[in-house]
Amino acid sequence: MKFPISNLPPSVKPLCGWSAPVPGRSPASQAPGADFSNGLVRFTSLRPGRARSAGFTMIEIAICLAIIGFALVAIIGVLPLGMNTQRDNREETIINQDATVWLEAIRNGSHGADDLTNYIYAITNYWTLYKTDGTVSKSGVNGYTYGNGPLSSPVIYPAGPYSSAPLTNGANIVGILSTPEFIADRLADNYPPVPDRFYFNGTDCYSNHVVAYVRSLSGLAAEKPPQPSDSLLFQDTLTYRLFCVNAPMPVDTNIYNLPLAQKTYALALAGNQRELRLTFLWPQYPNGKLGPGRQTFRTTVAGQLMPTNYYNWQNQWLYFYQSQSFTNAP
């Protein structure tokens, strides 16, 4: 159907949204569906065609799955490393917190830290008795537990500063962990700590290697006492070994040939100051082996390290730091 454009009323607009041709423009530039030839507009039916369906082909889906698979493999490969790093950081945090407790308990000569009996379940002391010429006279190991049962066989109780002491209170635990590195074999002097194993002429000397077996004091509250000792939570607690060294301050081996002032200072320093070293080795596995964790904490303690006999009828000597007690140079 054709209508002259000039005859269209102003209110009538062409169908399909087309307007009248603009003067000066080519009819070919108009939108499809309208023919302005000969000054007439002819409207044709503009039936829209069927829209194309968009989507993914099987090849595209397979490529996407392959990319996701590679990403998952990379993530799964990194996941164990991240979990191991998190575990190591947690264990180091626990060790750092426990070290503060042990350092304070030992260097303050604590007698009332009975809560330690919930965490430390065994202590061993590997000792060696040296003669004055440096040769070994004898050696042995002493084990201490809550019931004082032996940790290894045989457990030797020599006629010296060692016997038995059950780990039933904090004083026994701290007293054993404070055992000096070197002890003179002199009962008359209450087995005093000495700077080195050749300090007393004509006197043998004990060398001590004290190791404690500890369940961590810090960590999840669900793992801590009063959990029964056979519960899974209690058994999963981080366990470590604590190597405790109460070392004397270094003394010049030529001390008796020094001038009097230097000799007096060296002897006073040796008698009133010691170095406390705590080495943590973790984790302790159920089969007795140790993991790769190692960390040492060191501090100096001023004052005397005094021996105390554990009961008069037992020959176990305990040692405690007394930070307010000092002695003159011998």
Q: What is the dihedral of CA 260, 264, 270, 273, to 10 degrees?
A: -140
Is residue 4 helix, strand or coil?
A: strand
Same domain, 21 and 159: no
Cut 0.95: pTM above it: no
Q: 293-306: per-residue pLDDT in tens?
A: 999 999 999 988 98
The answer to whether residues 194 and 276 belong to one domain is yes
Helix axes 58-107, 170-177, angle to 10 degrees: 90
113 domain residue, yes or no: yes
When divided into structural domains, the chain yields a total of 2
Polymer length in residues for the chain: 330
Amino acid at 32: P
Q: CA 271, CA 248: separation in Å to the nearest integer?
A: 8
Cα–Cα distance, 207 to 197 (Å, whole number): 7
Give the best-scoring range by mean pLDDT among 152-156, 175-179, 202-206: 175-179
pLDDT tens track for 116-141: 999 999 999 999 998 888 889 888 88
> Considering the domain boundaries, does residue 73 fall inside one?
no
Residues 274 and 181 in one domain: yes
Same domain, 125 and 7: no
Query: pLDDT tens across 228-255, in order?
Result: 767 777 778 899 999 999 998 877 767 7
Q: Do 268 and 129 share a structural domain? A: yes
Indicate if the pLDDT at residue 159 is higher than 60: no
Provide the domain limits for residue 24.
2-43
